[in-house]
Amino acid sequence: MTGSGRPSKGTDGSGGVGAADGGDGSGPDAPLVARVFAALADGEFHSGEELAETLGVSRSAVWKAGKALRDLGATVHAVRNRGYKLAAVSESLDAGKIREHLARGVRERVRSLDVAWSVS
């Protein structure tokens, strides 16, 4: 996902494909890069150790996800002894919120709406 909230392709550190979770991309089946983006979306600093523990991965995996976010166009700041943060508060794509903004007639015709990260 880029800093503008558009999904893009990148890596989650495993080379696998992330599942569409229909939510904000931060579910347990989402690619790591999506989960790191969701964790950083508040615009606050988060230590690599905190992110690693929360996401159940190594600090190295968090670093790689931060690099992948940069490669996707997001501005991720990494500051020694403070952690990682996005340059601006962002909002992950959320199927429910998208659905709410559809015109009523369109919303009634849409059977499902999935938000997916594409990774390669």
- 68: CATH: 1.10.10.10
The reply to whether 88 falls in a domain is yes
Q: Could you tell me where the DSSP H helices lie in the chain? A: 32-40, 48-55, 59-71, 95-100, 104-109
The reply to whether 83 falls in a domain is yes
What domain range includes position 27? 19-110
How far apart CA 5 and CA 74 sit, in angstroms, is: 9
15: enclosing H helix or E strand: none
The reply to whether 90 falls in a domain is yes
The reply to whether 59 falls in a domain is yes
Checking if the pLDDT of 29 tops 80, the result is no
The reply to whether 12 falls in a domain is no
Q: How many domains would you assign to the chain?
A: 1
The reply to whether 14 falls in a domain is no
Q: What is the dihedral of CA 53, 31, 17, 10, to 10 degrees?
A: -120
**pLDDT of amino acid 88:** 87
More confident residue, 79 or 10: 79
Sign of CA dihedral 25, 26, 27, 30: positive
46-71: pLDDT as tens digits? 999 999 999 999 999 999 999 999 99
% residues pLDDT > 70 (the chain) = 73
Please tell me the pTM assigned to this model. 0.64
The reply to whether 7 falls in a domain is no
The reply to whether 116 falls in a domain is no
